[in-house]
Structure 1
Amino acid sequence: MPVLSVIVPSYHASAYLSRCLDSIIGQTLKDLEIIVVSDGPAADFAICRRYAEKDERVKFLKGRETGVGGARNVGLDAASGTYIAFVDADDWIEPNTFEESLSYFSNPDIDMVLFDTVVSNDLGYNSRHGEEYYLSLKYNGVCRVEKDVVLRTNVSVWNKIFKSDIIKEHQIRFPENMQYEDFPFFYQYAVCSRYFYYLNSKFYHYFRHPSSAMVRTYNHDFSCIKDHICGCVFLYEKLKAACLLEKPETKALYFDVLRNYVRIALSYVRPEDKTEMLQYALCAPVFPADDEFQVLRKEIERLLKKPQKEKRIYLFGCLPLLRLVFFRNKYKVYLFNFIPFLRILKKDLDFTRGF
């Protein structure tokens, strides 16, 4: 049984996959298995087969076409190592990454080791959009797992090493067919952990490209942003099924995670899509019956009721005549700015008929 299983999900990564696999094969730690799970296309398959034939430590598995999360789950099912690491197919790592990181597990209380990240792209180093700060470690050395520590730790799984026993015992898995699959996995693992070790060495090279989830979010991609809420649904269901929400500290962490991801979704979505995002968040099964969660739910309801836009019409350019207030599903017209004059439901409007 190898000390470490390294899981590499691959999809349309033929331009980068060899660089990634070479960096893992070239590790100073030799006692490892490399599980490459690919959804294709043929060029990716060919690279995977070539490496599997060249090095017996490389295992090539075909994915189920269920996204990065699904590919990682396939890898987890096949992994036999004492520890688990993830490397994305377009990224690469420094030669001593795993040997040095694993040494900190000599302390049996350590349940996760984290290392630092360099952000790169085809043009070289790029810290645009603040990725470097987000991905950087905020702590150094041993830290007890507490809510504030967990919330200040980036959720990416590829700059961390996990214990296989914890993953198996608590049936920790990734959501499938969605973006931002890392954070539900990370928080599932965190609530089952005692101590993290933060290693401030820039071992991981994260390759940022235009199709990444982070860039798509900055570009206001609605389907990608919506997955912040989908991830919360998955996390809630997993924590609830494991009865972990019965613990006050876990419930408090989940509350902050839910609130933060709703805020993130609302901050990046386009103004014209904000109502739809609020409705989606309100209908999602993510709210336990506890009072604090109902307060958050009522806050979302309040945002839905807020005016979305307002327009004023003046007579002779100075005398207030009409004030038009646009809500989610209706318009209100006020005479002289304050006298209610007309209310129109959007469903009653038919702009195809003219006026």
Structure 2
Amino acid sequence: METKCLISVVIPVFNVEPYLRKCINSIVSQTFEKIEIIIVDDGSTDRSGIISDEYKNDCRVKVIHKSNEGAAEARKIGVKAASGKYIAFVDSDDWIEYNTFEIISKVIDRYNADIITWGFSTVSIDNYVESKMNYNYCSGFYNEDDIVEKIYPTSLSNSKGIWGRDYIPALWNKVFKKELIVKNIDSINKEIIIGEDLALSFSCLLDAKSIYILNDQFLYYYRNTPYSIMKRYNKNYLHSTIKLIDCLDKCVEKVGVYDFKKQINANTIFFIIDILKNELKNEFYSPKELAQLIKKVIQYPRFKKALKDDIKIKVGLYNYCILRCLKKENIFEVLIELKFYRIIKKLKNNLGV
């Protein structure tokens, strides 16, 4: 018997009142109708929950209200309520093209791929398209052997930059077969609050038997918002990163056909540098407290292991200087480099560079 709903669209919602209608409207107005829309209000304190309820008259829409636990937990609740063959995720301050799922449904009908993914546009707070992003892979169908040979080698790191990956780790520019998500989503530690997309999408990639890449389609609009978790100080960044790297290490244990060690170590180095930059956002840190944090990072065994790996990565001048001092385990020099980085960043911000 054919499944009535082909794609379940899960939208985790938290305090996005100014943008939520545009997001939901872009989904309820899809030209492909065999979808269901699951809105999970994650304890919003603004009018997001009320706005979500406005759409309950559409028989395709389910609205779930819950206490605040973060986007990852909201997604889990949405997946449990989903009935579709495929799962899609849309962030509640973003939106999609009106014919996104019509395009995707045609790929599903022809290829039945485990994962289908496409390009996206980054947009400003006032909806201005800033850039377009797609994959460094050719468009088309990839079977299991293709995935191992062509996608695995640069999926986490391509050595071209500090966040250089050829496989976009986001959840929101993909649809996944439901069984793939169900198999992996509960294994993602709820304490991962930064990089939870990477943890789940990478875990699903390792279990996928087929992928279809639509490199010429930019169907998703990702909004750069000023309140993004990546743009403000987060006191849990270090703990979250430790859990994320642990998750990635465990993920690759199930793959015997490819060695991801260097790619995960490269990601660990990226996150170490970002952890330190995050701590610089805390204006109340004394030099002594920052030095203690640097010592904690340097001495953490998994981080130390990554720093000792001989990895060739293009990281840029400032990051290179920080990384060089980290590898020497010289806390004082790291502190000086970070202070210099903070001065340069403030200067650039003041000059509007």
Q: TM-score, normalised by structure 2?
A: 0.71
Instruction: Give me the whole-angstrom Cα distance separating, in 2, the residues matched to 1:15 and 1:80.
Output: 29
Give 1:305's aligned residue: 329
Change (3 A) 1:138 1:213: farther
1:1-355 pair list within 5 angstroms: 1-38=4-41, 39-41=43-45, 43-52=47-56, 54-108=57-111, 110-125=113-128, 127=130, 132=131, 135-139=133-137, 140-143=139-142, 144-146=146-148, 147-151=152-156, 152-170=166-184, 174-177=188-191, 178-199=193-214, 200-216=216-232, 223-224=236-237, 227-237=240-250, 239=251, 245-249=253-257, 252-253=259-260, 255-266=262-273, 269-270=276-277, 273=290, 276=293, 279-280=296-297, 282-283=299-300, 296=309, 303=327, 305-306=329-330, 308-309=332-333
User: Could you tell me how far 1:126 is from its partner in structure 2?
Assistant: 5.6
Kept in 1, the 8 Å contact 2:19–2:94? The answer is yes
Change (3 A) 1:26 1:47: same
Instruction: Give me the whole-angstrom Cα distance separating, in 1, the residues matched to 2:80 and 2:180.
Output: 14
**5+ unaligned residues in a row in structure 2: which ranges?**
157-165, 281-286, 311-322, 337-353
**5+ unaligned residues in a row in structure 1: which ranges?**
311-324, 327-355
Kept in 1, the 8 Å contact 2:39–2:64? The answer is yes
Larger fraction in strand? 1
Structure number with larger C-alpha Rg? 1
Kept in 2, the 8 Å contact 1:120–1:208? The answer is yes
SS in structure 2 of the partner of residue 70 of structure 1: helix
Q: TM-score, normalised by structure 1?
A: 0.71
Kept in 1, the 8 Å contact 2:76–2:185? The answer is no
Kept in 2, the 8 Å contact 1:120–1:206? The answer is yes
User: Could you tell me how far 1:222 is from its partner in structure 2?
Assistant: 6.0
User: Could you tell me how far 1:91 is from its partner in structure 2?
Assistant: 0.5
Instruction: Give me the whole-angstrom Cα distance separating, in 2, the residues matched to 1:110 and 1:149.
Output: 21
Deviations along 1:212-253, one digit per CA (max 9) or x if unpaired, are 13434xxx756446633332223335x3xxxx5153335x22
Deviations along 1:246-274, one digit per CA (max 9) or x if unpaired, are 53335x22551243233243156237658
Instruction: Give me the whole-angstrom Cα distance separating, in 1, the residues matched to 2:6 and 2:121.
Output: 26
Instruction: Give me the whole-angstrom Cα distance separating, in 1, the residues matched to 2:210 and 2:294.
Output: 36
Deviations along 1:302-321, one digit per CA (max 9) or x if unpaired, are 736336339xxxxxxxxxxx
Q: How many residues align?
A: 292
Kept in 2, the 8 Å contact 1:184–1:231? The answer is yes
Instruction: Give me the whole-angstrom Cα distance separating, in 2, the residues matched to 1:149 and 1:307.
Output: 32
RMSD in angstroms over aligned alpha carbons?
3.4
Kept in 1, the 8 Å contact 2:171–2:201? The answer is yes
Worse overlay, 299-308 or 5-14 = 299-308
Change (3 A) 1:171 1:124: closer
